[in-house]
Chain A
Amino acid sequence: MRAPAASDIAAGEAILSVKNVSLAFGGVKAINDVSFDIKKGEIRAIIGPNGAGKTSMLNVINGFYHPQHGQITFKGRTRQAMRPYEAARGGIARTFQNVALFKGMSALDNIMAGRTLKMRRGFLWQMLRIGPALTEEIAHRRRVEEIIDFLEIQAIRKIQVARLPYGLQKRVELGRALAMEPDLLLLDEPMAGMNLEEKEDMSRFIIDVNDHYGTTIALIEHDMGVVMDLSDRVVVLDHGVKIADGTPDEVKSNQAVIDAYLGVAH
């Protein structure tokens, strides 16, 4: 059975929906009966105080955590848990709250690694590195160079990522995710620890990715200004529970959200 391609889903329809998902670690309920959906082509923000369960939610979506209850429907297929490899193959890419790059590899190789699923030649061809294997390597290098140009990291492409400053590492990590040409891109605090200028650059990249490639984006972010500017819709989590869901304006004026952020006891 062929998984439906993202193109089978019309813009504005849900590309992903999670229904009644609950996830617990021992006694800690990280996610408690949360449902929401992400529509094709939108930028969807997930916000909430620390420990609200945002990262856990992304981990559920791309199959790294398996929820005890609930269902995930991605591109028309429903299951209780994703598997990381299948999520990747289905077109889900992500970045991590604490950069998870391949530290010993160059920026270029990190982004090239994002092309793994698209490369077809077997190891015998790669070993000879002639004919079709070389053609393939060059074709993918060309795509990766486009991403490098887009992210304006030409100058650092051959540098080992461990030696790059944090802001650039975040950019390379975005590049690696983009190299997968995902249908759904999950960004976990892409601007954490950045200065204003870096944040503006990153916002621009996110909007451009969404505009040019039509990539659906789910974004965790703490900076409310950024969230309000970028996102089409916002879901708010607090202590693992969904407390609000709507446009940035609706969410901003929601009393439960204001309480959660001001730390009002409930």
Chain B
Amino acid sequence: MLYREAGQFKTSYAADMAVFPIRQDRIALWLLLAFVFIGIPLLANFQIWPFGSEYLLRAILVPFLILSLAAIGLNILTGYCGQLSLGSGAFMAIGAYCAYKFGTGVNIPLFGLALSIPPLPVLPSILLGGLMAAIGGILFGIPSLRIKGLYLAVATLAAQFFFDWVFARVQWFTNYTSSGSVNAPQLEFFGLFVNTPIERYMLCLIFVVVFAMLAKNLVRGNLGRQWMAIRDMDIAAELIGIRPLYAKLMAFAISSFIIGVAGALWAFVYLGSWEPLAFSIDRSFQLLFMVIIGGLGSILGSFLGAAFILVLPILLDQVPHALGIPVSVETVSLLVFIVTGALICWLLIVEPHGFARLWATAKEKLRLWPYPY
């Protein structure tokens, strides 16, 4: 079937406002959802290649899903609202450690009085972890009302270093374990236990699909337009009645909430046990590269960027091996830096909207094919 919208007339604004107004796109989306929700579990169940081994699920798909989620969060702040942030790692850490605290019971001694919350189930713990990250995001977003661009990036960098320090030094957050490393609680959701790789994959998938849908709704609604207006021209935005205070802090809050939830999932579902290093400045840069490469201001781009950044090192590692060229681990990590850096430069010059825009342009060409216009 050709990729055409001919004959598909929109009869209502609701239909015109759909995320995928072209029928072929909708069909493709349903097929994709069916594959990821039903196909992959079936393949894994019957041990069919490439899902026979656990490697693909455990080492690629689970981190891909979680980092996609974090990239969506960062994209809301940086891509949609135009506020550059280098603190994503910190907000992931807040989500992870606070979820851990809520999961193991919070006890705050206050001059004899003690505030204590009994251990909560995993789901509320994760969501509360996100909420704490949102509060942190709002606090560290306040400078954005006065400063912009690189200066703001420095402020968010301060958040990164501050929380790196907090979680490494304040032992209350790690329940005073001697090693400083903490273990995730048993993953139980409404009586269901999540242990095997396929179960972990399904859990992350559900989170990602739900959050991606909610995020997509937000960015194409009134708040999303306010964010983009602030990003593109904050003065004009104010003159049409957008309040920068509200719009920016909402971007920080919602972005950090999503990143916090992603952090909690990263710790609980992917790592299982972790140290503060898991959420260092490297993570912040990794997420930033994902949204730049994938596409600033695009939910789809968040997935594309996460896939690229995760798959690139694996490709650079495996391809030379398959070709019989011995490459050391150091060379691979160096190559990853070089390729990523070069690609970012190229994209920023040629297509500042990343893979997502290249994809949209390709679709546009396909829609008109074989005519140039």
Query: Smallest distance from the beta carbon of B246 to chain A beta carbons, Å?
Result: 10
Q: Are A127 and B236 in contact (CB under 8 A)?
A: no
Question: Which secondary structure dominates chain B's binding surface?
Answer: helix
Q: Counting chain A CB atoms within 10 Å of each CB, which of B214, B229, B236, B241 scores highest?
A: B241
Q: Does A93 contact B (CB under 8 A)?
A: yes
Which are the 9 A-B pairs with shortest beta-carbon distances? A88-B241, A126-B221, A102-B232, A117-B241, A100-B236, A129-B217, A84-B238, A113-B225, A119-B222
- Give 15 new A-B contacts, CB below 8 A, not counting A102-B233, A112-B225, A137-B17: A88-B238, A102-B231, A104-B231, A104-B232, A109-B228, A113-B228, A115-B222, A116-B226, A123-B254, A126-B218, A126-B222, A127-B214, A129-B221, A133-B221, A138-B17
Residues of B within 8 A of A176 (CB): 240
B14 within 8 A of A: yes
Q: How far is the CB of A149 from chain B (nearest CB, A)?
A: 13
Q: Which residues of B contact A (CB under 8 A)?
A: 12-14, 17, 214, 217-218, 221-226, 228-229, 231-233, 235-243, 250, 254, 297
CB distance from B199 to the nearest CB of A (A): 27
Contact A105 B228 (CB under 8 A): yes
A100 nearest CB neighbor, chain B only: B236
B-facing residues in A97-124 (Cβ within 8 Å):
100-105, 109, 112-117, 119, 121, 123
Is there contact, CB below 8 Å, between B233 and A138?
no
Contacts of A133 in B (CB 8 A): 221
Say yes or no: is A87 at the interface (Cβ < 8 Å to chain B): yes
**A102–B241 touching, CB < 8 Å:** no
Residue on B nearest A115 in the bound complex, by CB: B222
Binding site for B on A (CB under 8 A): 62, 64, 84-85, 87-89, 93-94, 96, 100-105, 109, 112-117, 119, 121, 123, 126-129, 133-134, 137-138, 141-142, 145, 176-177, 180
A92 → chain B, closest Cβ, in Å? 8
Contact: B240 with A127, CB < 8 Å?
no
A102: B residues at CB distance < 8 A? 228-229, 231-233, 236-237
Q: Which residues of A contact B236 (CB under 8 A)?
A: 96, 100-102
Q: Cβ of B14 and Cβ of A138 under 8 Å apart?
A: yes
> In the assembled complex, how far is the CB of residue A14 from the closest CB belonging to chain B, in whole angstroms?
22
Cα distance A145–B17 when bound, in Å? 13
Are B241 and A116 in contact, with the CB atoms below 8 A? yes
Are B13 and A141 touching (Cβ within 8 A)?
yes
Q: List 18 A-B contacts (CB under 8 A).
A: A100-B236, A102-B231, A102-B237, A104-B297, A105-B225, A112-B222, A113-B225, A114-B240, A116-B242, A121-B222, A126-B217, A127-B214, A127-B221, A134-B14, A137-B17, A138-B17, A142-B13, A180-B241
Give CA–CA (A102, B218) in the complex, Å: 18
Q: Which of A93, A100, A109, A129 contacts B225 (CB 8 A)?
A: A109
Docked CA distance A85–B234 (Å): 12
In the docked arrangement, what's the CA distance between A89 and B241, Å? Answer: 6
Closest-by-CB residue of B relative to A62 is: B239
Residue numbers in B under 8 Å from A119 (CB-CB): 222
Given contact pairs A109-B228, A138-B13, A85 touches B243 in the complex (Cβ within 8 A): yes
- For the complex, give the distance between the alpha carbons of A93 and B241 in Å: 9
B13:A180 contact, CB within 8 angstroms = no
Which of B217, B232, B240: most chain A CB closer than 10 A? B240
* CB of B298 to closest CB in A, whole Å: 11
Residue among B14, B214, B225 having the largest count of chain A Cβ atoms under 10 Å: B225
Nearest A-chain residue to B236, judged by Cβ = A100
- Is there contact, CB below 8 Å, between A84 and B250? no
Q: Which residues of B contact A145 (CB under 8 A)?
A: 13
- The answer to whether A123 touches B218 (Cβ under 8 A) is yes
Query: Is B226's CB under 8 angstroms from A85's CB?
Result: no
Could you say which residues of chain A place their CB within 8 Å of the CB of B238?
84-85, 88
A56 to B218, CA, bound (A): 36
The answer for the CA separation of A85 and B238 in the assembled complex, in Å, is: 6
Residues of the A chain whose Cβ atoms lie less than 8 Å from the Cβ of B222: 112, 115-116, 119, 121, 126, 137
| Separation of A88 and B14 alpha carbons in the complex (Å) | 29
Residue ID in chain A nearest B82 by CB atoms: A104
Q: Which one of B226, B233, B235, B240 contacts A180 once the chains associate, using CB atoms below 8 Å?
A: B240
Which residue of chain A has its CB nearest to the CB of B250? A123
Is B241's CB under 8 angstroms from A127's CB? no
Known: A105-B225, A105-B228, A126-B221. A100 touches B235 (CB 8 A): yes
